A and B are shown apart, each in its own frame.
Chain A
Amino acid sequence: GAVVSQHPSWVICKSGTSVKIECRSLDFQATTMFWYRQFPKQSLMLMATSNEGSKATYEQGVEKDKFLINHASLTLSTLTVTSAHPEDSSFYICSARDIKQGHQPQHFGDGTRLSIL
């Protein structure tokens, strides 16, 4: 089945550090990838929709200058949390959709747990 690989799975770093998270679709092409954030005991919150070769679409309240998204190819999207602070600590999850299967589900990566000290 479709596989999405997300790295790293766990990051602990100091406040002010920038952190890059990669999301790869391993066995299918994904024109669209999604970035979610989930705080403990809360629901998934869509941060942005990433389209290959174009600018990402950010949800209301998400700072595009702080959460930089690059979708340079049909199999790779990256999220960079710039100058991260403790309030950015969260579980970040990417997902991707196979362009050949419009109605098929999004496939999720395993998530990245980000802890800012």
Chain B
Amino acid sequence: GQNIDQPTEMTATEGAIVQINCTYQTSGFNGLFWYQQHAGEAPTFLSYNVLDGLEEKGRFSSFLSRSKGYSYLLLKELQMKDSASYLCAVMDSNYQLIWGAGTKLIIKP
């Protein structure tokens, strides 16, 4: 079957760095996506990785290792507004998105 695993909840301090891991097992691979979802709102797109390596976009970076079925989202210089759920999703061979359950990130002052 297809499976996406990510931690349920993480806590970090304002100004610090946090890494949210995601491991996956899917039928085929056409890229991995990270989305941010604030409570009561729809998800918003953060990043996309299809090749191995690190993609940096401002305070957020995303890493992919296809051989290990592993990705992480790195958030630097954390701000209170970064408190949200972070969703990992993999596009399978049929171009359908398989979603993780999301990681709730709590930022403390």
Contacts and interface: CB of A to CB of B under 8 A. Distances in A.
* Binding partners A and B: yes
A43 B87 CA distance: 9
A91 interface: yes
B44 A108 contact: yes
Given A44-B43, A44-B87, A91-B40, A105 B48 contact: yes
B99 A105 contact: no
A74 interface: no
A103 to B, nearest CB: 5
A71 to B, nearest CB: 16
Contact of B41 (A44, A106, A111): A111
A110 B37 CA distance: 11
B100 A103 contact: no
A93 interface: yes
State the main secondary structure of chain B at its contact with A: loop
B30 A111 contact: no
Interface string B35-54: 10000111111001010000
B41 A110 contact: yes
B96 to A, nearest CB: 7
Contact of B42 (A49, A97, A109): A109
Contacts of B91: 103
Nearest to B50: A103
A104 B99 contact: no
Q: Which 3 A-B pairs have the closest CB atoms?
A: A43-B101, A108-B42, A111-B42
18 contacts: A34-B97, A43-B101, A44-B43, A49-B96, A97-B95, A102-B30, A103-B31, A103-B48, A103-B91, A103-B95, A105-B35, A107-B45, A108-B43, A108-B44, A110-B41, A110-B42, A111-B42, A113-B40
